[in-house]
Amino acid sequence: MLSLQTIREHTDEVRNAVNQRHTEAPIEQIIELDAERSPLLTEVETMRADRNRAGKLIGAAKDSAERQRLIDEQRSVASKLDDLEKRLTDLDSALNKLLLEVPNLFHEDVPLGVEENSTVVLIGNGATGEEQRIDPPVPISEWPAIEDTASVKPHWDLGETLGIIDFKRSAKLSGAHLPMLLGDGARLQRALISWMLDQHRKRGYQEVYPPAMVTRDALVGTGQLPKFADTMFETTNGRWLIPTAEVPVTNMYRDEILESSDLPIHHAAYSPCFRNEQFSAGSSSRGVKRLYQFDKVEMVRFERPDDSWEALDQLLDDALKLLRELKLSYRVLRLATGDLTFASAMTYDIETWAPGDQEWLEVSSVSNFLDFQARRANLRFRTEDGDIEYLHTLNGSGFALPRLLATILEQYQLNDGSVEVPLPLRPYLGGQERIDPA
RNA sequence: GGAGAGGUGGCCGAGUGGUUGAAGGCGCCUGUCUCGAAAACAGGUAGACGAGAGUCUCGUGGGUUCGAAUCCCACCCUCUCCGCCA
């Protein structure tokens, strides 16, 4: 969250950020309550100081008449202090509630506008290995459509003919949007998970296998709650199913003060993710593109504030390294303000090309949250000078498995209907080179 | 799920209504001593808000009281035993 101080001192900037995100936040209410709170706080603190002073005198009083006189005196102010304290508590909790609904500020390089204003900043060709930085970035609305004449099947057809993705049978047990992987499909996913975790580990990301159920507080910490409760599943025992491993992992160091020498901390976590998607029939949710449950490998970084922007670039590159090794075609978007998530100050989306479906699939989202989550989750560290500061958090997927799997199936499809196994994954599949129809 | 024990500062641990934000020890930092180190001795050593005075924090939230680490209630967490389970 933003500090009260930020909202108080940079009100216009905050208002502007909220508007550019095309959302709403109770800024005016916050300003109003804050104006009432400040003088009240001073008054309450002065009265408490009096009370504490009197308490010491009462404790030390030898003469019982004098002691009784002091007690009577305090008795007469106690109820007034009580009233004022109640009002202060009410204001504080109201303010805290409102502050949780204010989105983060964003970096000046974030393009303004809605989704179509997001810009393409990088594009990579899987076949040739060429990578091109797009400078200046081009809005996706002006980005030329890909002329991909490859006549290949979309992954949902391929998955069925190869017998590796089953939509029909899983519907019997779970309903729509919860497909199952079979045989080489399940094995390919497992290979991907292992390979990705191994790659991240090599680059210094310590592996974590987090709980998939978390408390409400954890979700408040990362910013999903209180605003986005309807996008998740609450369990009957008061926990919530995680929408991403970002939630448990970012909350790991909650209420701790890390030493400067501990930073940076890099984790990679494999977990299932659960999202209460509002589906409408159509191409955007076909196949495995949008599901109630999917697996994902997520990278989470805890950084010193000065390092977080450089860390964002590294994080993006750490994700892209995997796509380069898999020889997949991809592009990187810098999301526009209207498409940014609540907590993010800047987000890159990585999309891979799905030739069967003729569309780009979002397989990763890489964000810098600055101290926004750190304030909510109380993530702090001690600087070299001994000061205590909020650290910065970042995360990026590497990668969401269903869509990555879909892209691989479509990009690695051969003329005879089989699918080649990407080179780096073969050691994880006992050297297997192809997936043939079952 | 049942029965019991317990949650105090970086750690251990005292404190059961009043100059206690908290004794003592360990650890850590600084100084004296030393060629240097160790030992010894002396001093220092939690966080939040605030310009500051000051206020708040002894698992969390309520309550009693002029006053709560200390009394009462609820909840959370940890440990032991039983039951159940992968």
Q: Which nucleotide is nearest to A78 (CA to C1')?
A: B66
Determine the Cα–Cα distance for residues A184 and A181; give it in Å rounded to an integer.
Answer: 8
- Is there contact between A57 and strand B, defined as CB under 7 Å from any strand atom? no
**What is residue A313's predicted lDDT score, i.e. its pLDDT?**
98
Q: Which three-class secondary structure state does DSSP give residue A277?
A: coil
The answer to whether residues A247 and A218 touch, using CB atoms and an 8 Å cutoff, is yes
**What is residue A279's predicted lDDT score, i.e. its pLDDT?**
83
Q: What number of CA atoms fall less than 13 Å from residue A224's CA on the CB side?
A: 26
Which positions on chain B have an atom < 7 Å from some protein CB? 18-19, 47-48, 50, 52-56, 62, 65-67
- Is there contact between A6 and strand B, defined as CB under 7 Å from any strand atom? no
Q: What's the CA dihedral at A78, A82, A84, A88 to 10 degrees?
A: 140
Residues of chain A with pLDDT under 50: none
Class of domain A4-99: mainly alpha
Determine the Cα–Cα distance for residues A59 and A255; give it in Å rounded to an integer.
Answer: 36
Q: Pick A115-435's CATH classification: 3.30.70.20, 3.40.50.2020, 3.30.930.10, 3.40.50.2300.
A: 3.30.930.10
* Hits for CB < 7 Å against strand B across A residues 305-334: none
Q: What is the pLDDT of residues A68-124, one digit of tens each?
A: 888 988 988 888 898 999 999 989 989 999 999 999 999 999 999 999 999 999 999
**What is residue A223's predicted lDDT score, i.e. its pLDDT?**
95
**What is residue A59's predicted lDDT score, i.e. its pLDDT?**
85
User: What residue has token string 């900037």?
Assistant: A13
**What is residue A24's predicted lDDT score, i.e. its pLDDT?**
95
**CA at A96, C1' at B4: how many angstroms apart?**
39
**Domain parsing of chain A, residue ranges:** 4-99, 115-435
Q: At A293, which amino acid appears?
A: Q
**What is residue A359's predicted lDDT score, i.e. its pLDDT?**
93
**CA at A248, C1' at B23: how many angstroms apart?**
40
- This prediction has a pTM of 0.94
Residues 6+ apart with CB under 8 A from A14: A2, A6, A7, A25, A27, A102, A105
Q: Which nucleotide is nearest to A380 (CA to C1')?
A: B47
Q: Give the DSSP H/E element, type plus range, for residue A12.
A: helix A11-20
Torsion A69-A73-A76-A79 (CA) sign: negative
Q: What number of CA atoms fall less than 13 Å from residue A283's CA on the CB side?
A: 8
Q: Which three-class secondary structure state does DSSP give residue A31?
A: helix
- Is there contact between A59 and strand B, defined as CB under 7 Å from any strand atom? yes
Q: Which nucleotide is nearest to A72 (CA to C1')?
A: B66
Q: Pairing relation of β-strands A265-274 and A256-259?
A: unpaired
Q: Give the DSSP H/E element, type plus range, for residue A169.
A: helix A168-174
The complex scores an ipTM of 0.87
Q: Which nucleotide is nearest to A388 (CA to C1')?
A: B47
What are the residues facing A241 on neighbouring strands? A213
Neighbours of A351 (CB within 10 A): 21
Closest CA to A271 of A243, A302, A230: A243
The answer to whether residues A303 and A380 touch, using CB atoms and an 8 Å cutoff, is no
**What is residue A437's predicted lDDT score, i.e. its pLDDT?**
87
Helix axes of A27-60 and A64-99: crossing angle, nearest 10 degrees: 160
**What is residue A311's predicted lDDT score, i.e. its pLDDT?**
98
